[in-house]
Amino acid sequence: MAQGRPDTSWHFVGQASAFPNVTSDKASALNETYPCGSSREPKSASSATGCKVFFVSEEKDSDATPVDLSDPIKALELKNQVLIFQYNGKFHAIDHKCPHSSFPLSQGIPFDIEDFGVVLSAGIQCPKHGWSFDLFTGMADRNAYKLTIWELQLRPATVNPEQGENSPDQEIWVRKKPRMG
């Protein structure tokens, strides 16, 4: 009997407003605390870690389960975990595990990939050995290691009666990219 393919269904991981926008001028480790809200809003009292991590089972129709990064044992169980964050206004979903050293990338630092001052892409640096990975292609800055990039969709938020029908928030949905072939 042939083994089935892993589940490629979409998983809801939260509201876009719950993810702080980590910017290149203030970037530090993603598991640090950043202020929530946009830069156009007055300073708000709310803050959150710069990323969220979810366990996504390979079982069909399973829910994405939040991983408590303050629990050292759960944070190091990296298999089937997706790391989600917003960097310079763009949402990213990647494997939580560095493909080179199996280190949690929630401790990584996002950065701009530049050439002579022109921003070409964005990357994340793993603090264990200093390796970097492009957030759009997954390619490493050395050797043939490749970071798994998850598909991410921003969908209109379901209507919340408290916020009215004009809720500006969006929902974030992720899934592992289906393998072709």
In a domain, 159, yes or no: yes
Q: Is residue 181 part of a domain?
A: no
Q: Please tell me the number of Cα atoms within 13 Å of 79 on its side-chain side.
A: 2
CB contact burial 116-147 (16+ within 10 A = b; e otherwise): eeeeeebbbbbeeeebbbbbeebbbeeeeeeb
Q: Per residue of the chain (181 residues), give pLDDT as tens.
A: 345 555 578 999 999 999 999 998 877 888 888 876 544 444 444 678 889 999 998 877 678 999 988 887 776 788 899 999 999 999 999 999 999 989 999 999 999 999 998 999 999 999 999 999 999 999 999 888 999 999 999 999 876 666 556 667 899 999 988 776 5
Q: Residue 6 domain-assigned?
A: no
In a domain, 180, yes or no: no
Residue 1, domain member (yes or no): no
Domains contained in the chain, number: 1
CB 70 within 8 A of CB 95: no
CA–CA dist 75, 62 (Å, integer): 20
4 in any annotated domain: no
Q: Which two tokens stand for residue 180?
A: 């072709």
Q: What is the CATH number of the domain that holds 71?
A: 2.102.10.10
Note whether residue 151 is domain-resident.
Answer: yes
Domain extent, residue 94, equals 11-175
In contact, 75 and 69? CB cutoff 8 Å: yes
